[in-house]
Amino acid sequence: MILGLTGGIATGKSTVTGLLRERGIPVIDADAIAREVVEPGMPAYEAIVRHFGQEILQPKGHLDRKKLGEIVFSDEAQRQALNAIVHPEVRRVMREQAVEAEEAGAPIVFMDIPLLYESKLQHMVEKIVVVYVPEATQLERLIERDELDEAQARKRMNAQLPIDEKKEWADYVIDNQGSREETARQVDELLRKIKTELAT
């Protein structure tokens, strides 16, 4: 079974992916793949250079993320152009990795997709797990983690769908307000549930 793992900024998704990996469950990381597909020599890299020109490159040929970021965050059409290049490639690699994991005998595979709902990628997974904390806790953790003021933190949170909406749509919820042990207990419970479903 392929499950989507998502949450909101600072809800503690990386804690959950760590716990899953410790239990030998394959986790396919959308963000890591998004970085890999834009490495020199990859098709998405070539397409980005064709579209945005050589000036977005560092001297050694890697993408200058800061320059590219400045272009796409100030121009919605350019942001969409970048996404149109990168996203299909990320999805292709994720599907490939999921098939490989299943062929290697993994009954459960997680796809870690931070913006699963925002990018409308529900079709890529069979069930969705949301890592949840209340919005107030999310705000507090984000301010502390990224050393932001409240306005900056809220702006980042507002760029995503509200965590309470995601919780409503989830097939499973992991409540990450407590200790790591408490979260680990929920992860074990979730894996037990899924294995039972697969067995029936």
The pLDDT-based confidence of 173 (bands split at 50, 70, 90) is very high
CATH of the domain at 176: 3.40.50.300
pTM to 2 decimals? 0.89
| Rounded CA separation 89/85 (Å) | 7
DSSP state of 124: G
**Mean pLDDT of the 182-189 span:** 98
Q: What is the pLDDT of residues 87-135, one digit of tens each?
A: 999 999 999 999 999 999 999 999 999 999 999 999 999 999 999 999 9
Percent of the chain residues topping a pLDDT of 70: 100
Considering the domain architecture, whether residues 66 and 3 belong to the same structural domain is answered as: no
Q: What is the pLDDT of residues 10-54, one digit of tens each?
A: 999 999 999 999 999 999 999 999 999 999 999 999 999 999 999
| Rounded CA separation 191/4 (Å) | 13
Cβ partners under 8 Å of residue 88, min gap 6: none
| Rounded CA separation 40/167 (Å) | 38
Among 84, 105, 126, the domain-final residue is: 105
Considering the domain architecture, whether residues 15 and 89 belong to the same structural domain is answered as: no
DSSP state of 61: S
Considering the domain architecture, whether residues 89 and 127 belong to the same structural domain is answered as: no
Considering the domain architecture, whether residues 44 and 82 belong to the same structural domain is answered as: yes
| Rounded CA separation 131/174 (Å) | 5
Q: What does the pLDDT read at residue 73?
A: 83
What is the extent of the structural domain holding 152? 1-26+108-200
Among 70, 105, 140, the domain-final residue is: 105
Of residues 81, 80, 78, 111, the one with CA closest to residue 93: 111
Tally the domains of the chain. 2
